[in-house]
């Protein structure tokens, strides 16, 4: 009887010690499979690359000229976001190596990115002290179309993988 009481006391003691660890607020607990981070992250980086291209396009359409440094910053922003997206795609490519449909969509997205990189090279040549604004805007417009196509493929990939939409942040999470 005494041994049973000691075991019971130990179990209760351990439970009380673990209570703070186990009683995490619900917003700290994972709500989705952590492997589903990559599709969302890759899509986000693609949207950011598109934003840089779109802003550079509109700057070029509303000004006589664009400062070389400003153009170069947006071109670098496109490249940086495409590189980050490609890193997330590489994780998906490895994780879903056996899924031919996923591989086709990833390859299609990578193809859109390759075309964007070629356009970035053209933009580099146009981003001089006296930029060719028409050529710069045309390449930005083409890049936006490529990135829109990549986002469409991202949406298909996320749907195929069963990736849930991210829930909107709430003030509960800030507590």
pLDDT at 24 > cutoff 50: no
Average pLDDT, the chain: 83
Distance CA 77, CA 116 (A): 12
| Domains of the chain: total | 1
Report the C-alpha gap between 107 and 50 in whole angstroms.
19
Q: Is residue 125 in a domain?
A: yes
- 11 lies in a domain? no
Decide if 45 is inside a domain. yes
Residue 12 lies in a domain: no
Residue 130 lies in a domain: yes
132-152 per-position pLDDT tens digit: 888 999 999 999 999 999 999
In a domain, 25, yes or no: no
In a domain, residue 27? The reply is no
Residue 10 in any domain: the answer is: no
The domain of 88 spans 34-160
Tokens 């002290």, residue located:
129
Question: Residue 49 — pLDDT band, cuts 50, 70, 90?
Answer: very high
């Amino acid at each position: 009887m005494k041994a049973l009481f000691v075991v019971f006391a130990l179990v209760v003691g351990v439970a009380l010690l673990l209570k703070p660890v186990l009683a995490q607020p619900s917003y700290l607990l994972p709500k989705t499979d952590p492997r589903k981070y990559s599709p969302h992250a890759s899509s986000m980086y693609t949207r950011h690359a598109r934003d840089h291209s779109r802003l550079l396009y509109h700057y070029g359409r509303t000004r006589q000229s664009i400062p070389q440094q400003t153009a170069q910053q947006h071109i670098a922003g496109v490249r940086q976001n495409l590189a980050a997206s490609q890193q997330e795609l590489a994780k998906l490519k490895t994780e879903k190596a056996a899924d031919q449909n996923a591989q086709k969509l990833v390859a299609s997205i990578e193809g859109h990115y390759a075309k964007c990189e070629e356009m970035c090279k053209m933009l580099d040549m146009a981003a001089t002290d006296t930029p060719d604004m028409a050529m710069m805007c045309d390449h930005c417009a083409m890049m936006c179309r490529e990135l829109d196509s990549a986002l469409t493929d991202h949406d298909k990939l996320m749907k195929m993988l069963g990736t849930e939409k991210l829930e909107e942040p709430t003030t509960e999470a800030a507590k």
